Amino acid sequence: TRIGVVAETAPGERRVALVPTHVQQLVDRGLRVVCEPGAGAGAWYEDEEYERAGAELGDPWGADIVLTVSPPSPAEVDRLASGAVLVGFLAPATNTEGIAALRKAGVRAFAVEAVPRVSRAQSMDALSSQATVTGYRAALLAAERLPRFFPMLTTAAGTVPPASVLVLGAGVAGLQALATAKRLGARTTGYDVRPEVSDQVRSVGARWLDLEISAVGSGGYARELTPKERARQQERLAEAVADFDAVITTASVPGGRAPTLITAESVRAMRPGSVIVDLAGETGGNCELSVPGEEVVVHDVTICSPLNLPSECAVHASELYSRNLVELLGLMLDDEGRLLPTTSDEILASTCVTATDEEVD
Ligand code: NAD
Q: Quick: pLDDT tens for 316-341.
A: 999 999 999 999 999 999 999 999 99
> Is 50 exceeded by the pLDDT of residue 361?
no
Q: What is the mean pLDDT of the chain?
A: 96
Q: In sequence order, what are the residues at sequence separation of 6 or more whose Cβ sits closer than 8 angstroms to the Cβ of residue 8?
A: 14, 15, 16, 39, 42, 68, 69, 70
User: Can you give the pLDDT at residue 162?
Assistant: 98
Euclidean distance between CA atoms 338 and 324, whole angstroms: 19
Q: What is the mean pLDDT of residues 77-106?
A: 96
Whether residue 318 lies in the annotated active site = no
User: Can you give the pLDDT at residue 276?
Assistant: 98
> Is 90 exceeded by the pLDDT of residue 111?
yes
Euclidean distance between CA atoms 24 and 341, whole angstroms: 25
Whether residue 122 lies in the annotated active site = yes
Pocket test for ligand 1, best of 194, 200, 221 (most atoms within 8 A of CB): 221
Q: What is the pLDDT of residues 266-316, one digit of tens each?
A: 999 999 999 999 999 999 999 999 999 999 999 999 999 999 999 999 999
Q: What is the pLDDT of residues 220-243, one digit of tens each?
A: 889 999 999 999 999 999 999 999
> Is 80 exceeded by the pLDDT of residue 164?
yes
> Is 50 exceeded by the pLDDT of residue 5?
yes
> Is 90 exceeded by the pLDDT of residue 71?
yes
User: Can you give the pLDDT at residue 220?
Assistant: 81
Rounded to whole angstroms, what are the CA distances from 209 to 33, 252, 274, 311?
49, 18, 19, 31
> Is 60 exceeded by the pLDDT of residue 265?
yes
Rg (CA), the chain: 22
Q: What is the pLDDT of residues 174-205, one digit of tens each?
A: 999 999 999 999 999 999 999 999 999 999 99
Contact 236, 210 (CB under 8 A): no
Within 6 A (CB) of ligand 1 lie: 117-119, 122, 125, 127-128, 131, 168-174, 192-194, 220-222, 225, 250-253, 259, 261
Give helix then strand counts, H and E, for the chain.
12, 15
Which pTM does this prediction carry? 0.96
Give the number of C-alpha atoms closer than 13 A to the C-alpha of residue 6, restricted to the C-beta side.
24
Rounded to whole angstroms, what are the CA distances from 233 to 127, 175, 226, 260, 266?
26, 20, 10, 10, 12
Euclidean distance between CA atoms 198 and 297, whole angstroms: 32
Euclidean distance between CA atoms 330 and 25, whole angstroms: 11
Q: What percent of the chain has pLDDT over 90?
A: 94
Rounded (5°) CA angle 80-254-189? 125
> Is 80 exceeded by the pLDDT of residue 360?
no
Calculate how far, in angstroms, residue 177's C-alpha sits from the geometric centre of ligand 1.
14
Nearest-atom index, ligand 1, CA of 121 = 41
> Is 80 exceeded by the pLDDT of residue 358?
no
- State the complex-level ipTM: 0.95
Q: What is the mean pLDDT of residues 91-120?
A: 95
Q: What is the mean pLDDT of residues 128-156?
A: 98
Calculate how far, in angstroms, residue 26's C-alpha sits from the geometric centre of ligand 1.
32
User: Can you give the pLDDT at residue 255?
Assistant: 77
Q: Write the single-letter amino acid at 232.
A: R
Contact 232, 266 (CB under 8 A): no
User: Can you give the pLDDT at residue 256?
Assistant: 82
Q: What is the mean pLDDT of residues 138-161?
A: 98
Greatest Cα pair distance in the chain: 73
Calculate how far, in angstroms, residue 33's C-alpha sits from the geometric centre of ligand 1.
35
> Is 70 exceeded by the pLDDT of residue 356?
no
User: Can you give the pLDDT at residue 355?
Assistant: 83
Choosing from 29, 148, 221, 230, which is the catalytic residue? 221
Calculate how far, in angstroms, residue 283's C-alpha sits from the geometric centre of ligand 1.
15
User: Can you give the pLDDT at residue 260?
Assistant: 96
> Is 90 exceeded by the pLDDT of residue 40?
yes
Contact 174, 168 (CB under 8 A): yes
Whether residue 232 lies in the annotated active site = no
User: Can you give the pLDDT at residue 219?
Assistant: 80
